[in-house]
Chains A and B, each alone.
Chain A
Amino acid sequence: MAEHAAVVGIGQTKYDAKRLDVSQPGLVREAAIRALEDAGLEWKDIDAVVIGKAPDMFEGVMMPELFLAEALGGVGKPMLRVHTAGSVGGSTAIVAASLVQAGIHERVLTVSYEKQSESNAMWALSIKMPFAVAMVAGAGGFFAPLIRGYMQRSGAPEDTGIRVALKDRQNALKNQYAHLQMPDISFDMIANSPMLWDPIRYLETCPSSDGACAMVIADAKHTKASGRPAAWIHATNMKTEPTLFAGRDQVMPQAGLDCSAELYKKAGIQNPRAEIDCAEIYVPFSWFEPMWMENLHFAPINEGWKMTYEGATAIDGDMPVNMSGGVLSSNAIGASGMIRFAEAAMQVRGQAGEHQIEGAKKALGHAYGGGSQYFSMWIVGDQPL
């Protein structure tokens, strides 16, 4: 990577079930304005706009990036859209960063969003196709067997997922933007919630949210001149694999294992658990925390659950995960990956407020999408690498 790049501005909307008070342009604008304000910049300072969201079918607007140009100050500038399913928020940030790292642009605005109140994402993901078995299962139905597979392999205690959900829902209470705020959340409440897709309980799943997240990514010159805290991008990485093929390990995808190993190598990290201060990872169903702890090489294979169980991933643990409340607490699908990346950046910028990890210097942002087949990740630090 030729040029250093850093996150110098971050903006989020409040995540909510129904933002009926704003249009889609109004929603993305809200996050973008906050990112510009945080960066101390104006529209004219931005060289290019990179936008991401999940499938067009979710809102029923084909190529929505085209009608969002003026809302994002994109008129007369390069504007492009990224799409990699649920990981899109992460890969969008990476594309934006690459434009700066390549020396093509100096300051890039990147935004991702979903307005689930205008759609029904669950069933848009479960299309009954001719000649195919109609599962009509939704995302949970797809991932439940993978979770069951993990439980069988690892011998993890049955309540591991409940513990993850309790932690993330308690963390969400410290995040003003989190969609689900459940002050009276308890282990029993989660354990007794309806079984949606065995073994996934209702309170172990993510909500459907409206929301947008935005970041301004700048080169070293502008970052230093801004005089504001920066999240320097140490490394980014993406990997892809097919949805289905014989021999594919869907529980522990090779693409994720390789993606994170390469990421750490690029960032000069030998021991991720010791060297990374905290992580925001894509956990739409509680059990994906222990699964991804292994996939991200924080724990040996089949031992990720121990990190959850021993409290390592708690906000006061040695490897805090999803301090913001995570995807379990806010899921504006297209934005969810970028929220992870932005929350990691907020930690090293020291701007995470009540869910700040004191002295965080190095953080991981992670997203995955499709049938656990697209991965995007970055490492950010409070200093340039």
Chain B
Amino acid sequence: MKELRSVGTSVRRRDGDGHVTGQTEFVDDRSFPDLKHLHVVRSPVPHAEIEAVDTSQAEAVSGFVTALTHEDVPNNIYTILRLIDIGPNEEPLLAEERVRYQGEPIAAIVADTKRAAMEAASKVEVDLTELPAVFDVEEALEPDAPTLKEWGTNYFEYEGHECRRVRYGDVEKGFKEADHIIEERYQTSPIEQAPTETTAAIAKPESNGRFTVYTNTQALYFSLDNTAMIVDVPFSKLQFVGGTVGGGFGGKVDVIVEPLATLAAKKTGYPVQYKFTREEEMQVSSPRGAWRMYYKDGVTDDGEIVARQVTSYADAGAYNRHTPYAVTKHAANVGGPYDIPNAKFDCYCVYTTKQPSSAMRGFGVTPASFAVEGQMDKIADELGLDRWEVRFKNAYQNGDVTPHRKEVEDATLIETMQSAAEMVGRDLPPEYATMSSFKEQDNEGDSRV
């Protein structure tokens, strides 16, 4: 290994001064001659049939340039993760016959100013016939729930299964061998990524027939590829420029503003900006999804977990966004950093008539850790055991196999517990004070530490 001189030192960050003195150029700082602004007409109700959309009053607003509906979108139905083979397509860029959440885009107005676009958008008349809504994930799976998806269910299908399954060992046998069964239901809340900079893009038609898209996406190529497919322009005709973002936290991985801005630029020939207001950022941009998790652990008298069964429901809201991916990630983490010999996990991606949820820091893992650590304390407290010792007793070590059948390679949980115990002045029994994640190191001369 080469000598490390810079890595490991606190080199002053290069863009910090620019950020705090206002010198950094974000999307909204860019200006172009004839820049137009886009604002979206949104559904006022969570679930409805669209009977008619009338833009005639909007067209009379001073500064109005054009209106877009689903008829203007070449490939209107998409799903972001089709780029990694997750499908089928199921979300419209602009709603067609039906809206499935309050705030769903129905039409877009392009105007000379943001103010004119907002005023014109407010004058678009949408005739809706409301349908029954379903907000709760478990109610959405009931047979009488209103169905949101073309394929006739309210869940994402994982290779023929209604949920992402993990099966390891024999969970029923484990429960029989257990001295105690510890069960609990856990629920997390949707929260806002709360970036300083709201989601924004400017699409600019170039004289050579290409489009330059300035964007604060977290993933330039993901946004480029999806935009090209939705707007039906060759990938090679798009240039995406970004790389500097005023806070992402997962809130800027959905491809929402770039396709509409590009479509509007293509239709009008003008550069077009589509920037979320703070209200849109909070109410229609995807929040962290809420998760409901039912845990059932079989535990021996001395606190060893011998079986774990989990049924969990991710509230995707009305559309996929990134939730099908997160549920798989979640399924690999509901066991936590512990050695679980028998496991059965059923993790559902459920659709409800709500604002679609999506990625946020800890996607799928944060709710799992919340539930797992609640269980660890519950096990300790119900059995009258020490909360630290229950964790040491169950901690995974390198060489163990997880419920998703991966051999553990970089385990260091035990070492963090030992250091934390020292930090808070807690004496550990010798067996835990000398324990190691590298259980083979003595007899195999493992030199990884």
A binds B: no
Chain B residues in the interface with A (C-beta under 8 A):
none
